């Protein structure tokens, strides 16, 4: 199998986390109750949202979406250009995947911490700092002179991105009024990630085929990020007045043990998954088995700790009672499946074009243009229609349509014209993820309190990142195993690789049907969401 394999990407009652009588003991201003403070903050936010001009809303949505877009675009550049980049920087074969994998690893590990810090210190500060670091480290990727430098810059880029994603979610939630404006804001934010990745694939192939070279793409992304950061500095709304940051507040208002347990568990699992994706035989190594056992032990530990914090009336990262919200739990599972399938299908499609049909990187990138077009139309359409159509119907229909993408690729003949199956597979692959992004964000926003909006955005993005890592690892194992066991002698031939790819497509088809089943049951009581509240 090729070494380049998988160069990656309500109506239910919810728990009220605001136990004011217990939390008030942590405030240092006894003259004003926490309830009164929060009412003041909420009213200030509502007033700001009500007076925000349409032009200001457009600028806000555009800049926040633009940061997400550029970050994902750099990942697309890395993915499509990795063979050329690896040759130029003399990256060893055993580290071939790490410029892509390490980004998701660092991002997933830091999301919950970044979200919690944003809730405590303010979204504006954390977002601007994240934008500054993102621009610097993307530029670093462009000037890297060795493979190790590139891996380090991509690691820090993942950390910077973790500061931008949850704060963008929280800023839009706090500043845009309920109804169409917020729905469109979430839809555009959801559009940024898949659209940026697809544009990165296309531009990466274009730059490789010209005199500009692969570095120019990173220079371009860094410049755009810096420009958006300057605009955000002047246009992001100020945070509500907050108490000074003290060690007492840091200890009392952030669930540090929950963050350590969850981030460590996700980090260990993502690391092991990355090594397995690079070489599926690594699953048998003693250190990987030991790490997985440690991560497995952390899961019940996290559950016990959350219960203890909740019973004591202290802030809990993700309270256990929150999982009793059927819509929230179901959306988490659907997001996990959808992101695994989306990244798996797009990665295998890229390999199918380049290794089975033996097309160039640029020719392969052009075949993802329908993905870009449908992503734009679908995200904006979802933002406009989500408050008019039942959410469970949107999820079910989009998931069923997305299931058609891996199904078409599972039955394709590589010699067929692109228009027979591959075109429709590219067109259908992002439907579920694009629709679910907006719906999931609206459900998650309702499940968390206004004090934990940054954490809410972090939870969603953490689940999506974990789904990406989980899916790519499982698909790498399936593809390598099926190819190895095939009767074809030359395991590196297009015919042998296609046998493994076809098995992955069938697996993706099954996962999407599973997502449909979860949505059919778990969202059965969810009607229209994102409605304007008087």
Q: What is the pLDDT of residues 51-104, one digit of tens each?
A: 577 888 889 999 999 999 998 898 888 877 877 888 888 888 667 777 887 888
Q: 12 falls in which pLDDT band (50, 70, 90)? A: very low
In CATH, what number is assigned to the domain containing residue 466? Answer: 1.20.1250.20
pLDDT class of 17 with cuts at 50, 70, 90: very low
Is pLDDT of 534 > 80? Answer: no
pLDDT at 29: 34
Band (506; pLDDT cuts 50, 70, 90) = very high
Interval 336-347 mean pLDDT: 87
Q: What is the mean pLDDT of residues 320-342?
A: 86
Burial class, 11, CB count within 10 angstroms (exposed 0-12 / middle 13-18 / buried 19+): middle
Q: What is the pLDDT of residue 30?
A: 35
- Give, in degrees to the nearest 5, the angle at Cα 120 between 116 and 126: 75
Percent of the chain with pLDDT over 90: 25
Total Cβ atoms within 10 A of residue 415: 7
What average pLDDT does the chain have? 81
The neighbour count for residue 420, using CB atoms within 10 Å, is 13
Q: Is residue 395 part of a domain?
A: yes
Give yes or no for residue 270 having a pLDDT over 50. yes
Is the pLDDT at 43 greater than 70? The verdict is no
Q: Over the stretch 179-192, which tens digit does the pLDDT of each residue have?
A: 778 888 888 887 78
Q: Is 180 inside any structural domain?
A: yes
- Copy the structure tokens of residue 196: 């940026």
Whole-angstrom CA distances from 322 to 42, 138, 318, 332 are 22, 37, 7, 12
Q: For the ranges 64-78, 113-127, 208-222, 429-443, which has the lowest average pLDDT?
A: 429-443
User: Which pLDDT does position 532 carry in this prediction?
Assistant: 56
The larger pLDDT score, comparing residue 135 to residue 202, is at 135
Residue 169: per-residue pLDDT: 84
Residue given tokens 């899916």 in the structure block: 471
Q: What is the pLDDT of residue 530?
A: 56
Closest CA to 504 of 483, 531, 527, 486: 483
The structure tokens 């903050």 sit at 41
2, part of any domain: no
**Residue 396, domain member (yes or no):** yes
What pLDDT does 410 receive? Answer: 94
- CA–CA distance, 226 with 331 (Å, rounded to integer): 34
Task: Please give the angle made by the CA atoms of 480, 484 and 485, to the nearest 5 degrees.
Answer: 120
At 453 the pLDDT is 65
204 has pLDDT over 90:
no
Residue 534 placed within a domain: no
SS3 track for 467-516: HHHHHHHHHHHHHHHHHHHCCCCCCCCHHHHHHHHHHHHHHHHHHHHHHH
| Distance (Å) of CA 510 to CA 400, 402, 404, 430 | 11, 11, 11, 16
Residue 280: the pLDDT is 76
| pLDDT(172) > 80 | yes
The pLDDT, as a whole number, for residue 229 is 95
Q: What is the pLDDT of residues 191-201, one digit of tens each?
A: 787 788 878 87
Round to whole Å and give the CA distance between 184 and 383: 4
Answer for the pair 347, 472: CB distance below 8 angstroms, yes or no. Answer: yes
Quick one: pLDDT band at residue 291, thresholds 50, 70, 90? very high
The HSE-up count of residue 470 (CA atoms within 13 Å, CB side) is 18
**Lookup result for tokens 């060795």:** 146
Does residue 502 surpass a pLDDT of 70?
yes
pLDDT at 134: 95
- Global pTM value: 0.76
Radius of gyration over alpha carbons of the chain, in Å? 23
Note the pLDDT of residue 3. Answer: 38
pLDDT tens sequence across 438-471: 787 777 767 677 767 667 777 777 888 888 878 8
Query: Which residues are within 8 A (CB) of 4 and not within 5 positions of it... i.e. 6 or more apart?
Result: 82, 83, 96, 351, 355
Domain-located, residue 513: yes
Query: Which of 47 and 349 is assigned the larger pLDDT?
Result: 349
Rounded CA-CA distance 219/157 in Å is 14
What is the pLDDT averaged over residues 478-495?
A: 87
End-to-end, the C-alpha distance of the chain in Å comes to 58
Q: Do 519 and 395 contact (CB within 8 A), yes or no?
A: yes
Mean pLDDT along residues 500-511 = 94
From the CB of residue 449, how many other CB atoms can be counted at a distance below 10 Å? Answer: 16
Unique residue bearing structure tokens 């309702």 = 446
Of 25-29, 37-41, 309-313, the one with minimum mean pLDDT is 25-29
| Measured distance CA(59)–CA(499) in Å, rounded | 48
Q: How many residues does the chain have?
A: 534
State percent of the chain over pLDDT 70. 86
Provide the pLDDT for residue 13.
Answer: 36
Average pLDDT over residues 316-336: 85
Split at pLDDT 50, 70, 90, the class of 34 is very low
Within a domain: 15: no
How far is it, in rounded angstroms, from Cα 262 to Cα 511?
A: 25
Give the count of beta carbons closer than 10 Å to the beta carbon of residue 363.
14
Query: CA–CA distance from 499 to each of 62, 472, 476, 484 (Å)?
Result: 43, 17, 13, 10
131 falls within a domain: yes
- Range from 136-140, 164-168, 351-355, 447-451 carrying the lowest mean pLDDT: 447-451
pLDDT score recorded for residue 373: 82
Give me the number of domains the chain comprises: 1
**362 or 326: which carries more pLDDT confidence?**
326
Give the confidence band of 516 by pLDDT, cuts at 50, 70, 90. Answer: very high
Least confident of 222-231, 350-359, 434-443, 524-533: 524-533
| CA–CA distances in Å: residue 248 to residues 24, 118, 450 | 13, 17, 22
Structural domain boundaries enclosing 126: 20-522
């Amino acid at each position: 199998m090729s070494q380049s394999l998988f160069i990656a990407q309500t109506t239910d009652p919810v728990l009220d986390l605001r136990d004011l009588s217990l939390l008030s003991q942590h405030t240092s201003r006894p003259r004003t109750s926490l309830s009164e403070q929060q009412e003041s903050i909420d009213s200030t936010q509502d007033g700001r949202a009500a007076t925000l001009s349409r032009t200001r809303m457009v600028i806000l949505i555009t800049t926040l979406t633009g940061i997400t877009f550029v970050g994902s675009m750099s990942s697309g550049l890395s993915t499509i250009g990795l063979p050329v980049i690896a040759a130029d920087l003399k990256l060893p074969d055993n580290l071939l995947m790490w410029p892509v994998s390490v980004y998701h690893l660092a991002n997933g590990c830091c999301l919950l911490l970044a979200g919690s810090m944003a809730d405590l210190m303010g979204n504006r500060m954390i977002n601007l700092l994240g934008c500054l670091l993102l621009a610097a480290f993307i530029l670093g990727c462009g000037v890297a002179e060795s493979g190790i430098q590139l891996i380090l810059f991509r690691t820090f880029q993942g950390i910077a991105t973790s500061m931008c994603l949850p704060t963008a979610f929280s800023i839009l939630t706090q500043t845009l009024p309920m109804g169409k404006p917020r729905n469109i804001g979430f839809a555009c934010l959801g559009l940024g990630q898949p659209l940026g990745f697809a544009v990165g694939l296309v531009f990466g192939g274009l730059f490789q085929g010209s005199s500009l070279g692969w570095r120019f793409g990173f220079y371009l992304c860094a410049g755009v990020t810096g420009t958006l950061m300057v605009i955000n500095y002047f246009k992001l709304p100020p945070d509500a007045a907050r108490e000074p940051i003290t060690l007492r507040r840091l200890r009392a208002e952030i669930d540090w043990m929950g963050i350590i347990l969850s981030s460590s568990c996700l980090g260990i699992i993502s690391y092991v998954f990355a090594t397995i994706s690079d070489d599926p035989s690594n699953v048998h190594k003693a250190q990987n088995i030991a790490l997985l056992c440690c991560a497995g032990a952390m899961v019940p530990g996290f559950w016990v700790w959350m219960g203890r914090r909740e019973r004591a009336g202290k802030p809990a990262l993700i309270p256990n009672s929150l999982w009793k919200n059927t819509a929230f739990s179901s959306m988490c599972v659907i997001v996990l499946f959808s992101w695994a399938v989306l990244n798996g299908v797009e990665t295998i499609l890229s390999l199918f074009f380049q290794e089975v049909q033996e097309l160039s990187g640029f020719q392969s990138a052009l075949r993802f243009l329908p993905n870009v077009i449908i992503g734009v139309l679908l995200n904006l359409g979802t933002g406009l229609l989500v408050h008019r159509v039942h959410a469970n119907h949107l999820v079910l229909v989009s998931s069923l349509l997305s299931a058609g993408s891996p199904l078409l690729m599972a039955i394709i003949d590589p010699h067929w014209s692109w228009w027979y199956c591959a075109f429709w597979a590219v067109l259908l692959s992002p439907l579920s993820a694009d629709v679910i992004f907006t719906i999931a964000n609206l459900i998650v926003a309702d499940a968390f309190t206004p004090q934990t909006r940054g954490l809410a955005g972090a939870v969603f993005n953490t689940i999506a990142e974990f789904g990406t890592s989980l899916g790519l690892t499982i698909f790498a194992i399936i593809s390598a195993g099926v190819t190895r066991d095939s009767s074809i002698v030359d395991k590196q031939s297009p015919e042998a690789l296609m046998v493994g790819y076809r098995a992955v497509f069938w697996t993706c088809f099954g996962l999407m049907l599973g997502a449909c089943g979860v949505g059919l049951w778990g969202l059965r009581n969810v009607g229209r969401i994102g409605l304007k509240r008087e």
